[in-house]
Every structure is written in structure tokens, then in C-alpha cells.
A and B are shown apart, each in its own frame.
Chain A
Amino acid sequence: MQRTLLQLFYLLSAILFILGLRGLSHPRTARRGMFLAELGMLLAIVGTLFHHEILSYRWIVAGLVLGTVIGAPLALWIPMTAVPQRTALSHSFGALAAALIGISEYARHGAQLGAGRAVVIGIEVMLGSLTFTGSLMAAGKLQGTIRGFPITYRGQNFGNLALLGGMVGLVVAMALMPGAGAAFYVMVGLALVFGVLLVLPIGAADMPVVIALLNSYAGLTDAAMGFMLDNKIQIITGSLDGSSGFILSILMCRAMNRSITNVLFGAFGQVKELPAGEKATKPVRQTTVEEAAEILGTARSVVFVPGYGMAVSQAQHRVRELADALKKKGVSVRYGIHPVAGRMPGHMNVLLAEANVPYDELYDMDQINPQFAETDVVVVVGANDVVNPAAKRERASPIYGMPILEVEKARVVIVSKRSLNPGFAGIDNGLYYNDNTLMLFGDAKDSMIKLANALKE
């Protein structure tokens, strides 16, 4: 009876989770949706506390309290630029929980397991362990604790494949001899190492894909845990989480014109040697704050194109102040956001929303691209590769084929940039040499303040 009741609780939670995610289809309904999801979680937890097998609450209460004490500050105090790290870290926590419960299950049943159950536990712990270390590595790279550029060596792909083969072999061995503890624990060790090696060769520029991919691994791990414990709510949640991560990985890959295998095995983000002789021969048109302010002040429509460089110099508030000054003069202001402008999917939107930019001024790439032709001025702040026309024209370019924000179609493009150094991928940008491009050299934050002041006068 009690067991049936718990299952009904879980069913209700699953419905509330789905309704909650549905709420995210619009900012207006999002918070209400999350409230439903929170309610679902509360139901599931309270229901589980009455589980018939629970004898003592000592460790449960201690764990809940400790988890809250660690989790709440992590969520409330970190800056918005650190959200990608926090997300990666929480993937690793979720995977850790799953791996530990899997180890406990194996330690408890070991030799009495049937082949099917042994394989389920093996896969669950394998996924959990590799997601745990892989996500820790990703968090470290994003935080800068681990060097951001790709670490590669000869025979890397072969080594990783051999490791994967070894793990699969050991899971098969577990199916044949469920009692062979050595096979299980060696497999756990290999999976932990595999997670590290998987993320090691991936550069910081590819992090949006990696986070999304680890998101889907974390979801699969959760689902595998549900299979192991025969718990449907975990299977449903894991499956939802997994498909969310999968969709986001695909969107991010498409935004960079890369396949997932290419991201995992390609070690992008290394500075590639450029064909010499082509660079630094063309002149650029430099502008001053006064001239730029005058152009902006007489424009009818302005589109800001922010890149991660803007977030690094914390210039988003200054950009918004400049936008406010323009709006006061009756200029229409919009923002064009490339899907990989930040360090994780949707990151740039959050950074701008934090600076009080209204969400209805934020346009994604597909929405804004047709509008550039009717735009008077585009202001590029800290973005580089995502506005590089080489992605459309030069077959030899490493970013060829990547969809970009077609800013050069606007009447005037003002690029705020520290110097002419090439960007993240180390690729020269033809946009800077266009006739309708004006370069405003200097610190982005500084330039935005000066522009806003010049406009207010």
C-alpha cells in the first residue's frame, strides 16, 4: 500500500517536472514553471522519507543539512560569469552520487547478481565515474584552475579508444562472473581516468559543447541509476535531462559548424599557423570617441553585438548605459546574440539580463541576421570570430562554414577592441579592413563610458 502511494507521488513529481520545463518556453512563465518543479521535488523527497526500508534518519538529516549548507552559498553568491563552472560542478556532483550508490549496490549484492543486473550496475557506475571526473576537469578549465588550451599527445585517440574498449570488456566480464570484484573495481578506476582524458584535449572555446554534452551524460547516468534501482522517476528525469543536454550539444555544434566527434577528437582551440604575407598589409579606418558618438547619436537603429571579451572586462553595465543614452535620443536599440557568444548555451543573455537589459531587446542570430541590412550602426564589443566574414568566404579558414552575425551588411560597423590582435581561434578578421568598419581602439569598458558621456552632452 505504502509502496503504491510512493509511486503515485513520483508520478505526480514527474508531471510537475515536465510542466516546469515547459514553463521555460517563455521568460514570462519560467518562474512559475520552476515553482511547479520545486513542488515536484518536495513531493518526491517527502514521499521517499516514508520509504519502508529506512530505519534511521541520522545520516539522512546530516546529509541534507550539509548539502544545503554547501549548495545554497554556491548558488547565491557566485558571479554570473561563473555559472558555467557551477553547472559543470553540479554535473560532477550528480554523477558522483550515482556512482557511489552503484558501488554500494555492487558491494551489497556482488556474486548474487544476475547477468542483466550486473551489466546495469556496471554501466551505471562507468557513466557516473567518467562524468564525475570529466565534469570536474571541465569546471577546472572554465575556472582557469586547469590550463584552458587543449592538451594533446601522440596516439591520444587510440589510447582513449583502448581505454573505452577495456571498460566495456570489464563490464562484459561482470556479466559472466558477477562475483569478480576485481573486474568491477578496475573498471571504476579506468572510468575515472577516462573522464579526465576525455576533456583534457578540448580547448576553452569548445566549452559550450562540452558542458552540454556532459549535461546529457549526467542525465544518462541518472537514468541508469533509475534502471539499477528500478525507480521510474529517476528514469524519466534522467531521460529528460539527457535529451536536453543532447539538444543543446547539437545546437552548439551547429553554431560552430562542428560535428560532435570533431569536438571530442579534434582538439580545436590551438593557435594555428597562418599563411604568412596576407596579414597587416591592409589599412584599417580608425575612429575617435567624438566621431563614433556623433555617428551613434544621429542613427535611427543601433545593434550591439557583444562577445565574451565584453563579459571578461565586465563592460555589460557600461554597454547598457550607452544603450540607455541612445534610447533617450530616440534611437532604437537591439542586441544580436550568437549562440556561442558565452561560455555555455545562453550565457550571454544572462550576462546582459544581469546588466538590466530587457529580454525583448535580445535577438538570437537567426532573428537578427535579416535585420542588419536595415540597421544604421552595429557596435561590436569584444566579439571577434562570431562576426568574422572569413567563415562565409574563405574555404581555407579554420572557421569556414560557421554561421556568423552578418554585421557588415549594416551601414556602419564600429568595433570596440583593445588592439588588432587576432581573437580566440587566432584567426585574422577581414571585417576590420572593410570600408564601412571603424575601429575604436581601447579598453571596451572605458570606450563605452566615454561614448555614453559624449552622447549625454
Chain B
Amino acid sequence: MIDPALIGDLYVFVLAGFLGYQVISRVSPLLHTPLMSATNAISGISLVGSLVVAGAGYGPLSTALGFIAVIASTINVVGGFLITDRILKMFKASR
């Protein structure tokens, strides 16, 4: 009943979660705000799924939904990376 592909995906999900826990635990508390905007930007990766739906011509409904999804994800990618950089630029060491 359960798709074997789903099990493979589950492996990836769980292992990435462990990796994420290790990597994020080492992020400096100084940078927790840019961390959130950075993960926002990265999670704009939903764009890759949206692009296909917007362009594959599955039908008018799918194209419309895909189009809106492309806009929403692009806002996250562009906005997320821009504001992360804007914030990080402000962190300077004392001379």
C-alpha cells in the first residue's frame, strides 16, 4: 500500500532533520534573526515545484494556482536573501 518512493523520502527527511539539528545548534545566538530570514529564503525552494505546475499546462486551474505559488515563493527567495544580507551587513566588529 505504501509507495516505496515514500520510504526513501522518509529516510532523507529524518537524516536531514538530524543534520539540521547539528548545524543549527552551532549558529550563534547573535544571528538568530538572520537565521530565520535565511531559512525563509531557502524554503522558497518550493519555487521549483511551483515552476513546473505553472508551466506544464496541466489545465487552467493548475496553471493559475501554480502562477500564484510562483509569485509567493519568489517573494520568499528574493526578499529572504535580500533582507538576510541587509541584516548581516550591519554586524561589524569593533575597530
Contacts and interface: CB of A to CB of B under 8 A. Distances in A.
A67 interface: yes
Given A71-B78, A97-B73, A241 B42 contact: yes
The SS class assigned to the B binding surface is helix
Contacts of A230: 5-6, 9
Contacts of A21: 20, 23-24, 27, 35, 38-39, 42
A342 B50 CA distance: 34
13 contacts: A30-B34, A40-B42, A41-B77, A56-B57, A60-B54, A68-B78, A80-B87, A96-B69, A229-B49, A233-B48, A251-B29, A344-B36, A349-B30
Q: Which of A20, A97, A98 has the most CB of B within 10 A?
A: A97
Nearest first, the 9 closest Cβ-Cβ pairs linking A and B are: A67-B74, A346-B32, A63-B70, A71-B79, A358-B94, A243-B20, A239-B16, A71-B75, A345-B32
B43 A222 contact: yes
Contact of A37 (B13, B33, B41): B41
Given A97-B46, A362-B30, A232 B9 contact: yes
Contacts of A232: 9, 12
A353 B85 contact: no
A24 B16 contact: no
Contact of A231 (B3, B48, B63): B48
Nearest to B25: A247
B94 A57 contact: no
B83 to A, nearest CB: 4
Interface string A29-64: 011001001101100110011010111110110111
A67 B67 CA distance: 10
Interface of A: 10, 13, 17-18, 20-22, 24-28, 30-31, 34, 37-38, 40-41, 44-45, 48-49, 51, 53-57, 59-60, 62-64, 66-68, 70-72, 74-76, 78, 80, 83, 86-87, 90-91, 93-94, 96-98, 100-101, 103-104, 107-108, 114-117, 120, 211-212, 215, 218-219, 222-223, 225-227, 229-245, 247-248, 251, 339, 342, 344-347, 349-350, 353-354, 356, 358-362, 364
Interface of B: 1-3, 5-6, 9, 12-14, 16-17, 19-21, 23-59, 61-63, 65-95
Given A90-B76, A227-B13, A234-B45, A101 B53 contact: yes
A94 B5 contact: no
Nearest to A347: B33
A206 to B, nearest CB: 16
A63 B67 contact: yes
A243 B27 CA distance: 13
Given A54-B52, A97-B72, A240-B24, 20 more contacts: A27-B31, A30-B91, A37-B38, A45-B47, A53-B56, A59-B54, A63-B68, A67-B72, A71-B76, A97-B70, A100-B66, A100-B69, A101-B50, A215-B39, A225-B46, A234-B45, A235-B16, A240-B17, A244-B36, A247-B24
